[in-house]
Amino acid sequence: LEEAAFQLQQIFRIDISIALNILGIESMRAGHCRTGFTCFKLAADRGYSKAQFNVGLCYEHGRGTEKDLEKAALYYCHAASSCHPMAQYRYGRYLLQHSPGQQWDRLQRALTFLEGAATAGITEAQAYLGVFYMRGLQPQEKRGLKYLLLAANSGDAQSRYHVGVCYEQGLGVQQNLAEALRHYREAAAAGNRHAQERLK
């Protein structure tokens, strides 16, 4: 009986969090940002990862509250720890961009979150990792190309352009000008200016 009561309590708690998060989304759409933020925060403080991500967005962009990147990172971290893919991407990026002197453990933590997001299909994370591995202090070209191809195949024209550069210059792959040309054409057709210039 105690177990059943506990399970009902958990379901009720989750349902309230979901309802608060939906109410927050609807409030934001209606232009009531403060109300939306309050709803997100109530759900986030109950441990609901989607609401934690939304609170992070509010703090990052100053919607319904004051802009505060550290608080945004804190909420992204909570959501990322619950495997929320977009939060993993944003928190991983935050760690890389705001880490003093690129501390090794912080770098590894950031990459773990970014790779989790990329594996979950977040195109932005795939593109970010692709460029990161290509341009890092110790470039890992094959790894970078793998992520660039994932992003390109998800429709990211900038990543498609970068894949063309890889084939043109032989980065992480055998040099192949015909393949480079194919990727440049696809990126250019999708509106990528760099690819259009490269084709000229």
Q: Where are the alpha helices (DSSP H) in 82-140?
A: 85-97, 104-119, 123-135
Per-residue pLDDT of the chain (200 residues), as tens digits, is 677 666 656 665 568 888 889 989 999 999 999 999 999 999 999 999 999 999 999 999 999 999 999 999 999 999 999 999 999 999 999 998 886 655 778 888 999 999 999 999 999 999 999 999 998 767 889 999 999 999 999 999 999 999 999 999 999 999 999 999 999 999 999 999 999 999 88
Say how many residues make up the chain.
200
- Whose tokens are 């894949």? That residue is 163
Look at residue 101 in the predicted model and tell me its pLDDT. 56
Pick the CATH number of 123-199 from 3.40.366.10, 1.25.40.10, 3.20.20.70, 3.40.605.10: 1.25.40.10
Rounded distance between C-alpha atoms, residue 115 and residue 101, angstroms: 21
Q: Rounded CA gap, 123 and 53, in Å?
A: 17
What is the residue extent of each domain of the chain? Answer: 123-199
Instruction: Identify the pLDDT of residue 76.
Output: 97
CA 70/CA 86 separation, integer angstroms: 17
Q: pTM surpassing 0.85?
A: no
